[in-house]
Amino acid sequence: MIFLDASALISIIAGEPDARELARPLQSEACLCSAVSVWETVAGLCRSYKMTVTEARGRFAQFRDALNLRFVPIGEREHELALAAHEKFGKGRHKAALNMGDCFAYACAKAHGAALLFKGDDFPQTDILPAAQI
């Protein structure tokens, strides 16, 4: 199982140069996202690719349907894990400097026993299982 962070979702949906490599593990695994990761994805597509919210939502919906991407709920367990991630790896506390969205991606992956698909240098500095290693 793989939880998709917004950084990976944006890259794949926008067709960034590393999109094909990022998408490779998604072919054989169940894929998860959350309302927070999707909100960040739509906002990121609007900001970085000058899409309207309607366009970005549409692009995400096409991707979700093609991949049979499943939303996971954010409840008390995810909340507690996100706070623990902030305490251990959050901005101003650790070199990983996880922001709120990162903390929730970390928490959702942990809560659902999933590897995390992401871009960047923040998550490798945590104890999360990267999707690249499955």
Confidence of residue 134 (pLDDT cuts 50, 70, 90): low
Q: What φ, ψ does residue 17 adopt, rounded to 5°?
A: -55, -30
Percent of the chain predicted with pLDDT > 90: 96
Q: What φ, ψ does residue 47 adopt, rounded to 5°?
A: -70, -50
- Report how far residue 84's alpha carbon sits from residue 101's, in angstroms, rounded to the nearest whole number: 13
Using the 8-state DSSP alphabet, how is residue 98 labeled? B
Range 64-82 average pLDDT: 97
- Report how far residue 129's alpha carbon sits from residue 10's, in angstroms, rounded to the nearest whole number: 20
Which segments of the chain are extended strands (E)?
2-4, 31-33, 70-71, 115-117
Q: How far apart are the first and last CA of the chain?
A: 9
Decide if pLDDT at 122 tops 70.
Answer: yes
Decide if pLDDT at 52 tops 80.
Answer: yes
Extents of the domains making up the chain: 2-125
- Report how far residue 46's alpha carbon sits from residue 57's, in angstroms, rounded to the nearest whole number: 10
Confidence of residue 69 (pLDDT cuts 50, 70, 90): very high
Q: What angle do CA 24, 16, 5 make, to 5 degrees?
A: 60
- CATH architecture classification, 2-125: 3-Layer(aba) Sandwich (3.40)
Structure confidence by residue, pLDDT tens digits, 20-48: 999 999 988 999 999 999 999 999 999 99
Residue 133: the pLDDT is 67
